[in-house]
Amino acid sequence: MGDSNEKMPDGYQKLINDVSPKPTVVKNVVWAFMVGGFICLLGQLLQNYFSDSFGLEKKEAAQAVVIAVIFMGAFLTGLGVYDEIGKRAGAGSIVPISGFANSIVAPAMEFRREGLVFGVGAKMFVIAGPVIVYGVTTAVVIGIVYWLIGGQGG
């Protein structure tokens, strides 16, 4: 191609600008906010339901919500619905815990034809694995620092 400092002809740059898709930042932000907000609203409704219907304390109800939302994210990924939501909502579907469930189930589904061990088992944590490793490592380091400065356990 030549030197990277070469200037492209003006007509070619105009053609690139004309055919390049224009980013729809405002629309993308609104969709992400609405979908992420809906997932959080669903979580709050579930927490209220678990508290009121089953008499769970706030902390126990929150744990039940995490389980339910992870299940729903994994289930919708298995049906292929969560990917469609993600195409429209972007970060609005990735940031909540349901997005973490999607990041584990999607690679497992993709590689299932390679078998349970070398497909699902080996590829399940391709995306989520680094998050888990660095999350656990950070938690251990913070715990050690907290212990060293004389913090009291929970």
**The model's pTM:** 0.68
pLDDT value, residue 14: 82
pLDDT value, residue 66: 94
CA distance 143 to 72: 32
pLDDT value, residue 116: 82
Q: Where are the domains of the chain?
A: 25-126
∠ CA 78-81-82, nearest 5°, is 85
Weakly modelled stretches of the chain, pLDDT under 70:
1-8, 152-154
pLDDT value, residue 6: 60
Helix 25-54 vs helix 81-89: crossing angle, to nearest 10: 130
Query: Are 83 and 106 a contacting pair, CB within 8 Å?
Result: yes
pLDDT value, residue 7: 67
CA distance 82 to 146: 39
